[in-house]
Amino acid sequence: MTRPIVFRYSQFNLDALLGLASGLRKQACTCDESKPPLAGSLNWVIFVSFGDSVEWVFRSPHSGRRAFLSEGYTSRTLASEVATLKYVKKYSSIPVPDIFAYSASRDNDIGVPYILMSKAPGHPLSRYDWLQPPDQPPPKCNLGKPARPLSDESKQKVMSQLGAIASQLSRLRFDKIGSLFQDGAGNYTVGECLSPALTWQGRDSLGRVDRGPYDDERAYLEALIAAYVSHAQELPLTPHAFFAPIPDPAEYANWASYRAAAARWNDFVAVGQKIDNSKNRLAFCIAARLMRDMMMPDQAIQDSTNGFPLGQPDLHLGNIFVDEDLNITCIIDWGSASSVPLAELLAASGQVLHICGPETTAETHLLTAAFRAGFERTTCSGNPRVVGSDTWARADMVRPFQRLVRMLSTRDYHDFAELYALACPRRLTGDDEPSRDIPSLFSERARRSENRQLLHELGADDLSRDDVERHERAAFGRPSPASTEKMAVARKLTLVSEMNERFVADRRLWQWIEHFMERP
């Protein structure tokens, strides 16, 4: 007998769940077993329905092969999220879900770790078309309908509200940097930091990382960079190739050009297995050392006297719910939240801003200004601590830094170039193009004795020549005129990259190749 699809991701006691929900609300409830659970990277979700049309959310973390974190970190992250939601609900007016019941382990009648909470009113901001590159097929929301367009004014309205929410979070201060937990008496404490930069993408398995709590910003930044270096040396890097950022649709005039660039990028990184090889790993290690120098000059470190505000680390469009008038109705998914330096809180809108494409766009500047205006308007009315221009400037640096250390985007080179331009403006060339400096800088660092030694050590894990060729054959498929041409182009580009220390496989390269290939 085929089990109902509601159990797609885990076997659990549905009757126990319905009994729990019914007992808590004193009403009968049901769950549609014919509907598959919704699922993200970390969790799966089903809905419990009451007779008066109220719905509750039952959310459980993935387990087994789908698990995003180890069992121990899954449990701690769930417990911390519950504590954080309760704290935010108690000490602010930020709209977050109500917690009705939870268990951080599978040791309960339902049989899985879970949170039973209220359903976010409204719909996620991801249902709207925040950015649509030219000639791209319209994106689809999760109901299969075309995403709804958003005007510039509507986007600014959302960003202003996010600024107001950040202002409220800036008042929730703690004496250390770390994640919130509750002890047996219900008291809130700051424990180890469950930041995505320290736990996601397999980093919860890294043993040589200080996970806090941290007394100051310097110790916190040192830990983030240490986790980044350990990731670069020990964990899979796919799809991150430092000097070959994945093409972004926003950079191309039409969808066909973007698809062609993406295909050529795939061919290029397949030759020589450029992603998980020692040369690429070394580039990330060099980037880490340079980031440390840029982010930790003595004068830039926050004074911890006033404590550290609470931050939401996963503020993307899917976690922001709005009503029909684009009023924010709920912020969900507070797992991995922690107290953070103030500049990091101010940079939290970066996940929304980054969707706009390159950080230098006029639209991005307008949205940043709207966020700042919302923050300052709320701060001036309810918080005497006004943020200075130096902290806002620091936030501009933290934004690309956080994308880098978390490996959030696949455009590591461009994120580094943005950070480099902000931190080292006097080292730019006359046309203010940092990319001309960066490859040469990395090449100079790679020639240093300690990095030559590191490259040798990393090379011990490189694939053999036979294995590389086997992977290349699998990537290009059976020999044909088309596959032969694709491999020839990729090999020529590889040769050029090895001969030219300033080589970067970015949009300029792919657009030039497209133009060249179209010539008669």
Q: Is residue 102 part of a domain?
A: yes
Please indicate, yes or no, whether residues 113 and 132 belong to a single structural domain of this protein: no
Q: How far apart are CA 341 and CA 215, in angstroms?
A: 11
Q: Is residue 32 part of a domain?
A: yes
What are the residues whose beta carbons fall under 8 Å from the beta carbon of 500, sequence distance 6 or more?
none
> Any bridge partners for residue 140, and if so which?
146
Q: Please, what is the Cα angle at 254 between 248 and 256, to 5 degrees? A: 90
8-34 mean pLDDT: 95
151-157 mean pLDDT: 91
Q: How far apart are CA 341 and CA 447, in angstroms?
A: 35
Q: Is residue 302 part of a domain?
A: yes
Q: Is residue 432 part of a domain?
A: yes
Domain that holds residue 48: 5-118
pLDDT value for 436: 57
360-371 mean pLDDT: 80
pLDDT value for 198: 96
Q: Please, what is the Cα angle at 141 between 137 and 145, to 5 degrees? A: 75
Please indicate, yes or no, whether residues 72 and 207 belong to a single structural domain of this protein: no
Q: Comparing 42-51, 54-63, 435-444, which segment has the lowest mean pLDDT?
A: 435-444
Q: How far apart are CA 286 and CA 280, in angstroms?
A: 10
pLDDT higher than threshold 70 for residue 448 = yes
Please indicate, yes or no, whether residues 191 and 114 belong to a single structural domain of this protein: no
Asked whether the beta carbons of 48 and 17 are under 8 A apart, the reply is yes
Question: Nearest CA to 247 among 266, 232, 234?
Answer: 266
- List the CATH number of the domain containing 147: 3.90.1200
Cis before 425 (ω within 30): no
Please indicate, yes or no, whether residues 46 and 193 belong to a single structural domain of this protein: no
Please indicate, yes or no, whether residues 160 and 105 belong to a single structural domain of this protein: no
The continuous run of DSSP H or E covering 91 comes out as helix 71-91
pLDDT value for 518: 72
247-260 mean pLDDT: 89
What pLDDT band is residue 222 in, cutting at 50, 70 and 90?
Answer: very high
What pLDDT band is residue 381 in, cutting at 50, 70 and 90?
Answer: low
478-495 mean pLDDT: 91
Give the domain-ending residue among 440, 461, 480. Answer: 440
Asked whether the beta carbons of 237 and 275 are under 8 A apart, the reply is yes
Please indicate, yes or no, whether residues 133 and 99 belong to a single structural domain of this protein: no
Q: Is residue 86 part of a domain?
A: yes
| Cα separation of the two ends of the chain | 62
pLDDT value for 410: 85
pLDDT higher than threshold 90 for residue 402 = yes
Q: Which amino acid is at 265?
A: W
Q: Is residue 74 part of a domain?
A: yes
198-203 mean pLDDT: 94
The 10s digit of each residue's pLDDT in 81-90 is: 999 999 999 9
348-354 mean pLDDT: 66
Please indicate, yes or no, whether residues 84 and 147 belong to a single structural domain of this protein: no
pLDDT value for 297: 66
pLDDT higher than threshold 50 for residue 429 = no
Question: For the whole model, what pTM was predicted?
Answer: 0.90
What pLDDT band is residue 207 in, cutting at 50, 70 and 90?
Answer: confident
For 471-499, give one letter per residue: b (16+ CB within 10 A) or e.
ebeebbeeeeeeeeebbebbeebbeebee
pLDDT higher than threshold 70 for residue 464 = yes
Alpha-carbon distance values, 426 to 312, 363, 399 (Å): 34, 26, 20
Of the chain, the percentage scoring pLDDT greater than 90 comes to 69
pLDDT value for 431: 45
Q: Is residue 403 part of a domain?
A: yes
Grouping H, G, I as helix, E, B as strand and the rest as coil, residue 84 is helix
Give the domain-ending residue among 100, 118, 136. Answer: 118
pLDDT higher than threshold 50 for residue 127 = yes
pLDDT value for 380: 62
pLDDT higher than threshold 50 for residue 141 = no
The 10s digit of each residue's pLDDT in 298-350 is: 555 555 668 999 999 988 899 999 999 999 999 999 999 999 999 999 997 76
Q: How far apart are CA 424 and CA 437, in angstroms?
A: 11
Q: How far apart are CA 359 and CA 433, in angstroms?
A: 14
pLDDT higher than threshold 50 for residue 276 = yes
Please indicate, yes or no, whether residues 111 and 131 belong to a single structural domain of this protein: no
Please indicate, yes or no, whether residues 62 and 157 belong to a single structural domain of this protein: no
pLDDT value for 366: 86
- List the CATH number of the domain containing 87: 3.30.200.20
Asked whether the beta carbons of 332 and 120 are under 8 A apart, the reply is yes
What pLDDT band is residue 479 in, cutting at 50, 70 and 90?
Answer: confident
Q: What six digits make up the tokens of 39?
A: 């699922």
pLDDT value for 386: 72
CB atoms within 10 A of CB 460: 7
Give the domain-ending residue among 385, 406, 440. Answer: 440
Helix, strand, coil in percent for the chain, rounding step 5: 50, 10, 35
Asked whether the beta carbons of 58 and 37 are under 8 A apart, the reply is no
Please indicate, yes or no, whether residues 131 and 205 belong to a single structural domain of this protein: yes
Domain count, the chain: 2
Question: Nearest CA to 376 among 390, 365, 392, 364?
Answer: 392
Please indicate, yes or no, whether residues 344 and 376 belong to a single structural domain of this protein: yes
Please indicate, yes or no, whether residues 109 and 195 belong to a single structural domain of this protein: no
Q: Is residue 431 part of a domain?
A: yes
